Amino acid sequence: METCNKCNKNSSVYFREYSGEKLCKRCFLNSIERKVQRTINKFSMIKFGDHVAVATSGGKDSLVLLSILKSTIDVSRGITISAITIDEGIAGYRDESLKIVSEFCSKLGVQLTVLSYNELFGTHMDEAMKVRPSAKLTSCSICGTFRRRAIDLAAEQLGANVVATAHNLDDEIQTFMINLLSGDVNRIGWNQASSIYKTGYMKKIKPLSETYEREIVFYALQKGIPFQSEQCPYMNESIREEIRQFLNDLEKAHPGIKYNTYKSIMDISALIRNRGDPAIMRRACEKCGRESTEQICSVCRIQERLKPLG
Ligand code: SF4
Ligand code: ZN
Ligand code: ZN
pLDDT of residue 279: 54
Query: By alpha-carbon position, which residue is closest to atom 1 of ligand 1?
Result: 143
Could you say which ligand is closest to the alpha carbon of residue 147? 1
Whether the CB of 234 sits within 6 Å of ligand 1: yes
Angle, CA 111 vertex, CA 105 and CA 113 arms, to 5° = 100
What is the model's pLDDT at position 273? 82
What ligand 1 atom has the least distance to the C-alpha of 237? Answer: 2
Counting residues of the chain whose pLDDT is more than 90, the rounded percentage is 73
The rounded Å distance from CA 221 to ligand 2 centre is 17
pLDDT at 157 over 90: yes
Residues lining ion ligand 3 (Cβ < 5 A) are: 285, 287-288, 297, 300
DSSP state of 189: T
Can you give the pTM of this predicted structure?
Answer: 0.92
Q: Worst-scoring range by mean pLDDT, 97-111, 151-165, 186-200?
A: 186-200
List, in sequence order, every residue forming a beta bridge with 81; answer none if it has no partner: 52
- Ligand showing the shortest atom-to-Cα distance for residue 231: 1
Average the pLDDT over each of 134-138, 183-187, 193-197 and give the range with the smallest value: 193-197
Q: What pLDDT sits at residue 280?
A: 57
Residue 249 Cα distances to 214, 219, 237, 245, 265, angstroms: 13, 21, 21, 6, 19
Residue from 116, 130, 234 whose mutation best tests the ligand 1 pocket (most atoms within 8 A of CB): 234
Residue nearest to atom 5 of ligand 1 (CA): 235
User: pLDDT tens-digit profile of 21-47?
Assistant: 999 999 999 999 999 999 999 999 999
The secondary structure of residue 236, as a DSSP letter, is G
Dump pLDDT digits (tens) for 98-118: 999 999 999 999 999 999 999
Please give the Cα distance from 282 to 89 (Å, whole number).
30
